[in-house]
A = this chain, B = another copy of it.
Amino acid sequence: MQELAGAYQAFSLYDAEGLRKSGSGLTPSQARVIFTIGGTEGMTCKDIGDITLITKGTLTGVIDRLEEKGLVERWSVEGDGRKTIVALTRRGARIYDREFPRHVEFLKSKFDKLGAGDRKQATELLQKIRGLF
């Protein structure tokens, strides 16, 4: 229980460090959004929130900042005036193409050290733990 927080914290710091050093200028939350909508035609805020686990109130601000940077754009869905589509701009797509594989590799190189058996076990246990709550 202390271990869960410690492991997440360590991962999270490493994750943030990798993004910082990449020079992309993306924060962890911004990267999660970019990496989520990359390769799609755009997604609603609801769906982005469900995947990234960022609550809607927070997500508005994260997307605001990505929009200011010119990495994403928003438009509303015709047919359902409640929904907003968020999609990468051309610039956002370039960042995604460059940073996504790089960052995945950056993380993978660490998790690979765990060994296939441990990785499988960890995945199962973490899913169980999540299911507890």
Residues in chain A within 8 A of chain B (CB atoms): 1, 3-14, 53, 107, 110-111, 113-114, 118, 121-123, 125-130, 132-133
> A-side binding surface: helix, strand, loop or mixed?
helix
Query: Could you pull out 19 A-B pairs where Cβ atoms are within 8 angstroms?
Result: A1-B107, A1-B111, A3-B130, A4-B7, A4-B122, A5-B8, A5-B12, A6-B53, A6-B127, A8-B8, A9-B53, A10-B132, A10-B133, A110-B133, A118-B125, A121-B125, A122-B126, A122-B129, A125-B125
Interchain CB contact under 8 A, A118 and B111? no
Number of copies: 2
Interchain CB contact under 8 A, B111 and A132? yes
Chain B residue contacts of A12, Cβ below 8 A: 5
